[in-house]
Amino acid sequence: MLNNHNKVKSVFICLMLIMSGLLLAACSQKDDENQHKTAIKEVLGHLFTGPDERFMDLLWNPKYRTVLNNKEENPELDKYLAEIYGPYMTDSYLHPFLSTIGAHYPTFAYDNGYKLSLNNITINQSENNSTLYTFTAEVGYQKNGEEEKTANVEGEVIFSSKVEGKIEGFQYINENGLSDKLRTSN
């Protein structure tokens, strides 16, 4: 009788350990998903709010640029980008992000007198790839106190499989003509 009791006890303990492991894994996956969604929201918030006067000054003011070994450098801009985007992007992706899309909308808005606001974001994780997320951002744009107009910007974000919680790819899929609208000065 005592032997049967020990077997039942052992089976119960094993089942509890397995269930605890599954619960812990599910919670951990949910934490990763929440961390990734937070990173996407922060990056989109920086891109579509403003324009950020400090960023524009560092980007375009020649006093911050130096040429070293025939290569232009901007240590102040690098420092600022590391502060703003560094917590969310891999080190190797910061500069490609800026040169491809990071300055795109803020520059158009700044050059033509538009104010940008991020009104709403929908983020979904891919069912087939845990590092891939899609987003739709409702971006407001307004000029000279006129009524705010909106455009939906859709894109994809890829998180690194090597650096936990860091973005290593970001692309727009459909921006519904927002860049064209921001390029107009009238």
CATH number, domain with residue 146: 3.10.450
Q: What residues pair up with 47 in beta bridges, in sequence order?
A: none
How many residues can be counted in the chain?
186
- Residue 32: pLDDT band by 50, 70, 90 thresholds? low
* Structural contact between residues 154 and 170, judged by C-beta atoms closer than 8 angstroms: no
Six token digits for residue 116: 């940008």
Asked whether residue 151 is domain-assigned, the answer is yes
Using alpha carbons, list the distances in angstroms from residue 177 to 54, 148, 151: 26, 15, 8
Backbone φ and ψ of 43, nearest 5°? -65, -45
Spatial distance between the Cα atoms of 114 and 111, rounded to a whole number of angstroms? 8
Per-residue pLDDT of 143-152, as tens digits, reads: 988 999 999 9
pLDDT tens track for 78-106:
999 999 999 999 999 998 998 888 899 99
Residue 150 phi/psi, 5-degree rounding, is -130, 155
| Residue 68: domain span | 33-183
Is residue 5 situated within a structural domain? no
Give the count of domains, the chain: 1
Q: Is residue 70 part of a domain?
A: yes
Closest Cα partner for 39 from 97, 95, 84?
Answer: 84
Query: Which tokens is 73 given?
Result: 């450098």
Question: Within a domain: residue 135?
Answer: yes
Residue 86 DSSP SS3: coil
